[in-house]
Structure 1
Amino acid sequence: MRAPSKENSFLRALSGQTVKPPPIWLMRQAGRYLPEYREVRAKVPSFLDLCRMPELAAEATLQPLRRFDLDAAIVFSDILVVPYALGQKVEFVEGEGPKLEPVRDWDGLKRLQLDGLAEEAAPVYETVERVVAALPENVPLIGFCGAPWTVAAYMVEGAGSKDQAAARTLAYRQPELYQALINLLVESSVRYLEGQVKAGARVLQIFDSWAGSLAEDEFQRWCVDPTWRIVTAVKAAAPGVPIIGFPRGAGPKAEHYARATHVDALGCGTSLPLGYIRSHLQSLLPVQGNLDPLLLVAGGAELDRRVDQILAMLGDGPFVFNLGHGIQPDTPVEHVARLVARVKKS
């Protein structure tokens, strides 16, 4: 593990400072692109099993920081830990992704319970404790959860989907049912994030991966309002912990999200133009992003060009370099090393 520096640049950037070079961490930085991760993954039957084994999950969390000069770790887990902890059947099928028993009626919703959350989430809290104990004191660990809209979409669809059609249709047809599901996820997410903070997480991120599928009024109801409720509750319990919101695909609605949710920083997806990020978002709060993960797969001169462009556009304000979504499994390790080195030399 690298030696600690005097002050963490990531925390400084999240506080609104302009830091040069900017801090860098990468969404899904612990994962299948690393050969050492694949060795760990081979020891357990399923991905969910790995998330629930603190010793191995902590090892996976720490692996990328041993290779790269990253400014933060993010706990190795998954956003679907919460529905699993509520009692929904969740499994990860190799080559297909998550599969869940769909929740599409009141009977399905009633089978979900908050009572078991603390016990079922305990392995994640232990992972956080193990990682914090192993990290240099000034290198923060990021805890996270999925936003209620995105998690609910998985719960209703029973899997990932391109357009979240089943979830959106249910929300239109039975808004009371959908609101009850969202309310349950708000409460469970607050408890889950607070548990991670108590275990040692110093930054939190809320992933709303499917925010871009919502129309304007639905975006307010299912994305902005629940996120604001989570942020308000967590900040009351842990006022010194910055929260990053990531409404992937929100487009121009991202500005309203930034203003209305009271997050401390905004994760920006690949599709957001740099000029828009600088003029409409970075003027409000620190921003994070937004390199295309596929460009990191491709590498070469085009990767260098885009990295330099992002740095030129966003580096004169509060900024955290990251991807516009998670690292792809087929990303060459040497490309990640090249990216980190280029950002650090800027």
Structure 2
Amino acid sequence: MAGAENSLFIKTLKGERSHRPPVWLMRQAGRYLPEYREIRATAKDFLDFCYTPSLSVEATLQPLRRYPFDAAILFADILLVLDAMDRGLRFEAGEGPILNPLDRASDLEAVSLSKVMQRVSPVMETVERLKAALPEGFPLIGFAGSPWTVAVYAIEGRGGTDKKNPKLWAYTRPDDLKAVLDYLVVVTTEYLKTQVEAGADALMLFDSWAENLPDHVFDWLVIEPTRKLVDNLRSAGVTVPIIGFPRGAGAKLADYVAQTGVNAVGLDTGQVPSFVNTSLPKGFPVQGHLDPLSVIAGGKQMLDRADQIIEAYRADGRPHVFNLGHGITPDAKPEHVETLMKHIQAMG
């Protein structure tokens, strides 16, 4: 880890409190930055961008040149594993990701694990280049989509849906859905283990579609595959901190924390600090959860809400990484991010 264990970010994930929360923002590299839009235009498409290490490295480093973030996050996409499984991934303007909808669990296994890893090998090169480019000890976050969220994309063939088909699989084809989740656990374990071997200092699991699930299926769709993934990583010798982000988990947050084995939990925009503090174990690290729309608006309300969130966890003695409740939006103003960062840095 080359000294990253001494960073404010990693120490917070391990349960230490500090004078101010470390801060990074989901999608901190992206379309809200004009310099990102410039380099994005040089790639033939988004997948080409993700698979070109020189571009992915540059995208990762761009926000660090502007703002004093406490961590970098690898520039990639949670759907690269599905692209590597030959699911026909493409990104269409105005529609987002499109894939060939999954009919059978066995279709995912048509491409061998070794070929999947060969396809995503440029991601590992990006991690290696980033560790060489970042200051000694500066933490780099690797990531992947959690099995349920990746399964939703695979079965629906797109994002932004009501998750009707994968939820129906849970009721009418539970064995098929479990087979999909189990295979995604296997692939994602290898994908994340390899990121750590390449230099990632922490991992984040994005379960963006954990929302609006009945509690009796949440356990086996979200919690169980995440637990298996974390257990597999630990059995494979991965020791870096793991952040789980079950967006929209609501009252199931405590079960997720208790049963998955993650070291910290990301909080979405709708989570309530008082609920978090009374529901989670004392001293368990959290990350979040300013509304991304608040950053678009900027001004006093943004800083006041940031203060409310920070003070709520500080008063409880809870280790806290400041972040957003979801990714920063393309229409966020860079100067608002600068104001927010200066405000937090001024805390100490």
TM-score, normalized by the shorter chain, greater than 0.5: yes
Cα separation, 1, equivalents of 2:120 and 2:278: 40
Cα separation, 2, equivalents of 1:143 and 1:179: 25
Partner of 2:98 in structure 1? 99
How far off is 1:304 after superposition? 1.1
Within a 5 Å distance, the mapping from 1:270-309 to structure 2 comes to: 270-281=269-280, 283=282, 285-309=284-308
How far off is 1:279 after superposition? 2.2
Within a 5 Å distance, the mapping from 1:130-209 to structure 2 comes to: 130-209=129-208
Within a 5 Å distance, the mapping from 1:242-281 to structure 2 comes to: 242-281=241-280
Partner of 1:20 in structure 2? 19
What SS does structure 1 have at the residue aligned with 2:120? Answer: helix
What SS does structure 2 have at the residue aligned with 1:211? Answer: coil
Counterpart of 1:207 in structure 2: which amino acid?
F
Q: Please say which of residues 273-282 and 88-97 is displaced more in the overlay.
A: 273-282
Cα separation, 1, equivalents of 2:80 and 2:186: 14
Residues 283, 319 of structure 2: 8 Å contact kept: no
Counterpart of 2:289 in structure 1: which amino acid?
N
How far off is 1:239 after superposition? 4.2
Residues 89, 100 of structure 1: 8 Å contact kept: yes
Cα separation, 2, equivalents of 1:274 and 1:135: 33
Cα separation, 1, equivalents of 2:310 and 2:142: 26
- Note the alpha carbon deviations across 1:259-280, whole angstroms, 9 max, x for none: 0001000000010101112222
What SS does structure 2 have at the residue aligned with 1:338? Answer: helix
Structure-2 change in CA distance of 1:5 and 1:77 (3 Å): closer
Cα separation, 1, equivalents of 2:12 and 2:344: 15
Structure-2 change in CA distance of 1:79 and 1:6 (3 Å): closer
How far off is 1:6 after superposition? 10
Cα separation, 1, equivalents of 2:105 and 2:74: 33
Partner of 1:88 in structure 2? 87
Structure-2 change in CA distance of 1:256 and 1:106 (3 Å): closer
Residues 190, 230 of structure 1: 8 Å contact kept: yes
Residue ranges of structure 1 left out of the alignment (5+ in a row): none
- Note the alpha carbon deviations across 1:149-195, whole angstroms, 9 max, x for none: 00000000010134211111122211111111111100000000001
Counterpart of 1:156 in structure 2: which amino acid?
I
Residues 23, 321 of structure 1: 8 Å contact kept: yes
Partner of 1:69 in structure 2? 68
Cα separation, 2, equivalents of 1:292 and 1:21: 20
Structure-2 change in CA distance of 1:344 and 1:103 (3 Å): same
How far off is 1:340 after superposition? 1.0
How far off is 1:253 after superposition? 0.1
Number of matched residues?
A: 343
Partner of 1:37 in structure 2? 36
Cα separation, 2, equivalents of 1:229 and 1:106: 18
Partner of 2:119 in structure 1? 120
Structure-2 change in CA distance of 1:198 and 1:109 (3 Å): closer
- Note the alpha carbon deviations across 1:103-123, whole angstroms, 9 max, x for none: 023564453542312201101
Structure-2 change in CA distance of 1:222 and 1:287 (3 Å): same
Residues 50, 56 of structure 1: 8 Å contact kept: yes
Cα separation, 1, equivalents of 2:182 and 2:92: 28
Partner of 1:318 in structure 2? 319
Partner of 1:222 in structure 2? 221
Q: Return the TM-score normalized by structure 2.
A: 0.95
Cα separation, 2, equivalents of 1:107 and 1:86: 11
Cα separation, 1, equivalents of 2:84 and 2:182: 16
Cα separation, 2, equivalents of 1:151 and 1:5: 29
Structure-2 change in CA distance of 1:282 and 1:31 (3 Å): farther
How far off is 1:5 after superposition? 10
- Please provide the CA RMSD for this pair: 1.6
Structure-2 change in CA distance of 1:11 and 1:142 (3 Å): same
Cα separation, 2, equivalents of 1:317 and 1:158: 39
Counterpart of 2:200 in structure 1: which amino acid?
A
Cα separation, 1, equivalents of 2:10 and 2:79: 27
Cα separation, 2, equivalents of 1:168 and 1:200: 36
Percent identity for Structure 1 against Structure 2: 46
Structure-2 change in CA distance of 1:93 and 1:282 (3 Å): farther
Structure-2 change in CA distance of 1:247 and 1:126 (3 Å): same
Residues 29, 327 of structure 1: 8 Å contact kept: yes
Residue ranges of structure 2 left out of the alignment (5+ in a row): none
Cα separation, 1, equivalents of 2:333 and 2:268: 21
Cα separation, 2, equivalents of 1:162 and 1:332: 28
Cα separation, 2, equivalents of 1:282 and 1:323: 22
Structure-2 change in CA distance of 1:106 and 1:309 (3 Å): closer
Cα separation, 1, equivalents of 2:108 and 2:9: 39
Partner of 2:343 in structure 1? 342
How far off is 1:213 after superposition? 2.6
- Note the alpha carbon deviations across 1:87-142, whole angstroms, 9 max, x for none: 21101112210000000235644535423122011010000011111001111100
- Note the alpha carbon deviations across 1:315-343, whole angstroms, 9 max, x for none: 34211000000000000000111111111
What SS does structure 2 have at the residue aligned with 1:288? Answer: strand
- Note the alpha carbon deviations across 1:43-91, whole angstroms, 9 max, x for none: 0121111000011001001111111000000000000001111221101
